[in-house]
Amino acid sequence: MKIGAIIQARVSSTRLPKKVLLNLPYESEITVLQQVIRRVFKSNKISDVVVATTTDYDDNVIVEYAEKENAKWFRGSKEDLLSRYYLAAKENKLDVIVRITSDCPCIDWEIIDLVIEHHISEKSDYTSNTLKRTFPHGLDVEVLSFESLEKAYINAKESFEREHVCPYIYTTHKDEFKVCSVESSQHLSGDDIRITLDTEEDYALLCAVYDYLFFHNEYFKAIDIIKLFKQKPWLKLINKKVVQKKTFTNLNDEISEAIKVLKLQDLYNSANMLENIIKKEQ
């Protein structure tokens, strides 16, 4: 059984362009992408680490950093992320695919291995620690079989099913797959902690986390992060108003999320207008 991690990465992120090329720690010469690759390589279960980027010229730099870290790389569609993952897995003959995003520079290899172990022991088609949020945002791991990925690749038709990798499996056609959830133990619970990278506020927080932890242990773990936030709860204030990106299968759910975002920005007139429109339609 060949288990490989595929790390998706590109420079054209919408909210924070070139975020994976930012330095972390702040004054170092190590990029966010390099930190992710190095931490994934610590896994005891993964044999291959593949960075999946796009065919855009601007993403040449992603390939350069992958090679610098001795990771494999694959270039595919920018919009159809599902096909990029499938073709990368097929090219590398992976039986089990571990999906990691390049905006998670605190990813913990022990949590990766935990999800892999659960996936294999349960003979699951898809296993994740994000179906029910118990771990901090930014320690996200998805594990799926090649057969499940191939089935999604062949049959997924909706745009959101192809712009993302796994919604076909765990949302729209979940009855066709064995889907398993991994929840954190009490000492690793922290669903109110956000250590992923989407905005400048996220980057400021990650710089603070790395300043506190990295210079004591380059490969600090999730438990170290949890302890840090308990000691310094003010850290949560840095990116408190950042809204986690989500995938929606219908317009009403998307509008409900838009209302939450508007209220966070004190745009109550717009939020109230949308709420009234939904009430009238109901």
Checking if the pLDDT of 89 tops 70, the result is yes
Q: Specify the range with the lowest mean pLDDT, choosing from 44-58, 94-108, 202-216, 233-247.
A: 233-247
pLDDT at residue 272, as a whole number: 72
Task: List C-alpha distances in Å: 168 to 86, 151, 171, 175.
Answer: 13, 9, 6, 10
Give the pLDDT band (50/70/90) at residue 256: low
pLDDT at residue 212, as a whole number: 98
- Asked if 233 and 240 touch (Cβ cutoff 8 Å), the reply is no
Percent of the chain with pLDDT over 90: 83
One-character DSSP codes across 107-150: --HHHHHHHHHHHHHTT-SEEESTTTT-SPBT---EEEEHHHHH
Residue 248: alpha-carbon gap to chain centroid: 16
Checking if the pLDDT of 263 tops 90, the result is no
Percent of the chain with pLDDT over 70: 87
Give the pLDDT band (50/70/90) at residue 241: confident
Query: Average pLDDT over the chain, rounded to whole?
Result: 92
Q: How many CB atoms lie within 10 A of CB 61?
A: 17
Mean pLDDT over 111-126 rounds to: 98
DSSP 243: P
Would you kindly state where each structural domain of the chain is located, as residue ranges?
Answer: 3-188, 251-281
Specify the CATH architecture of the domain 3-188. Alpha-Beta Complex (3.90)
pLDDT at residue 9, as a whole number: 98
Q: Is 65 helix (H, G, I), strand (E, B) or coil?
A: helix
Compute the distance between CA of residue 105 and CA of residue 52 in angstroms, rounded to an integer.
16
**What's the whole-model pTM score?**
0.87
- Asked if 171 and 126 touch (Cβ cutoff 8 Å), the reply is no
pLDDT at residue 258, as a whole number: 64
DSSP 224: H
- Please state the length of the chain: 282
Checking if the pLDDT of 225 tops 90, the result is yes
One-character DSSP codes across 140-189: --EEEEHHHHHHHHHH--SHHHHHSSSHIIIIITGGGS-EEE----GGG-
pLDDT tens for 165-193 read 999 999 999 999 999 999 999 999 999 99
Nearest 10 degrees: CA dihedral of 186, 188, 189, 190? 150
